[in-house]
Amino acid sequence: MSSMTDIVFLLLIFFMIASTLVTTNAIDILLPKASGKTENKKSVAVSIQKDLSFYIDQSKVEVQNLEAELLQLLQKETAPTLVLRAEKSVPVDYVVKVMDIANRNKFKIILAVNPN
């Protein structure tokens, strides 16, 4: 009987460890709170407000000019980085549009979250 308990215990430990290694490839719509800090030399913030207005740092930009403005700002950077700040109510399509621009141009992108 004790050998059966040992086997069940080992299977339980195996599945607990294996389940922590599973990752999902999804964008979390409701941004979690985080306490981690990101260190970066130079980054450009792209903000999307709930009225779907786009900002690069503090200046308002039309969505059709967003990629050209980002390329102009980040062309001299060796490791260009974008910080994406989107309000919770912004549709995912607009967030993915900025992420697609970053992916096409090989920009590193950081999704901003609320601190704890």
Residue 28: per-residue pLDDT: 39
**CATH top class, domain 30-111:** alpha beta
If we measure between CA atoms, which residue out of 32, 45, 34, 29 comes closest to residue 81? 45
CB 27 within 8 A of CB 96: yes
pLDDT digits (tens, 9 = 90+) for 25-82: 433 344 545 666 655 457 788 888 888 889 888 888 998 998 998 888 888 888 888 8
Domain boundaries, the chain: 30-111
